[in-house]
Amino acid sequence: MSNQKVWFITGCSTGFGRELAKAVLQKGDYVVVTARNKLDIKDIVDPYPDSSIACALDVTNAEQIDESVKIAIERFGKIDILVNNAGIGYFSTIEESDEREVRKMFEINYFGLIQLTSKVLPYLRKEKSGFIVNFSSIGGLMSFPSVGHYNATKFAVEGYSEALSKELVGTNIKVLIVEPGPFRTDWAGRSAVAENIKISEYSDTSAVKDSMREGSGKEAGDPVRAAHAIIEVVESTKPPLRLLLGEIALNNAYVKLGELKNDFDNWKDLTLSADFPK
C-alpha cells in the first residue's frame, strides 16, 4: 500500500460524501465508500475495483457499523481517516416539532457518529496515527430559525469533537470539525424533513424555512471544491480543529464572534461579581 491512506466515508450517496470519495479515489488513496443503499454508490466504486469497496451502512444500525468496519479492516488492513458525513436536516419551529423526527435526526447526526467513531478509534490507536473528520455546520456555531433542533445536533457534534481532540493529544490522532455554510448537497431537499408551520406568531420563521428550501440547488457552495479543501487539511502538517467552508459560513462565524464579545464585555462586571470575594 506504500504511502496510500485508507479513508472510511459515510453518507456517500450524495453531496459532500460523494464528492469527497470521488476526489480521494482520483488522487490514488483507498476508500471504503458507504451509503444506506449500495446501489447509490456503485458508480463511485466501479471504476476503482482495486482501491475501493462499497458497504451498506445505516449509521443507526449497530450491526452494519460492526460489519462495515470489519470489511474495511479485512480488505485494507487499517483505517487512516474516518469521515463522519452522514446526516439529515429537519425544518420546523421548536414548538411545532415532532419529537419522533427530532430523535431520529439525533440518532443519525450525533449518536451514529459517536458509535462509528468508537468502533474505529481502536484501529487508529493501534496505528498510532489517524484523522477523524466530523461534519458539523455553520449551524453548529450559531442557530437559525426553523432549524433549531438541527442546530442542536450540530452543537452536540461540536462539543463532542472538541473534547475528543483534547483527549487524543499525544496519540497523533487528529480531529477536524467541518463547518459548511449553504452548499449544493441536496441537504434541504431529499435529505430533510419539513413540517408545516401553522402558528401565526411564527410567520416570519415560516418564511425563513421556505426560503431555505426554495434555495436548494442554488447555494453558493461547491461540494467538489469543499472536498479538495478537506483533503488539503487532512494532508497538512498543522491542521486546524475547525474548518469553515464558504463565504457565508465565514461571515456568519464573525457575526457570532461579535455577539459573544458584546455580551461578554457588556456584562463583565456582573459576571465577575458571581465569585466569592477575594
Catalytic residue among 30, 150, 160, 202: 150
For the record, the C-alpha cell of 165 comes out as 481532540
CB burial class (10 A; 0-12, 13-18, 19+) of residue 161? buried
Q: What is the CA radius of gyration of the chain?
A: 20
Measured CA distances, 131 to 128, 155, 244 (Å): 11, 20, 17
Is 150 one of the catalytic residues? yes
**Quick one: which of 196, 193, 190 has its CA closest to 217?**
190
Kindly name the residue from 13, 52, 92, 136 that is annotated as catalytic.
136
Spatial contact of 251 and 186, defined as CB atoms under 8 Å apart: no
Task: Please give the C-alpha separations between residue 15 and each of 187, 190, 200, in angstroms, as whole numbers.
Answer: 8, 11, 34
Terminal CA-CA length for the chain: 61
Active-site entry in 5, 22, 119, 154: 154
Grid coordinates belonging to 178: 467541518
Backbone angles phi, psi at 147, to 5 degrees: -130, 35
Tell the burial category of 248 from Cβ atoms under 10 Å away from its Cβ (0-12, 13-18, 19+).
Answer: middle
Q: How far apart, in whole angstroms, are the C-alpha atoms of residue 66 and residue 77?
A: 15
Q: Are 65 and 116 in contact (CB under 8 A)?
A: yes
**For residue 61, which of 12, 112, 96, 113 has the smallest C-alpha distance?**
112
State yes or no: is 104 an active-site residue.
Answer: no
Cα gap 83→251, rounded to integer Å:
25
Q: Which residue has the cell 459515510?
A: 10
Which residues form the catalytic set? 136, 150, 154
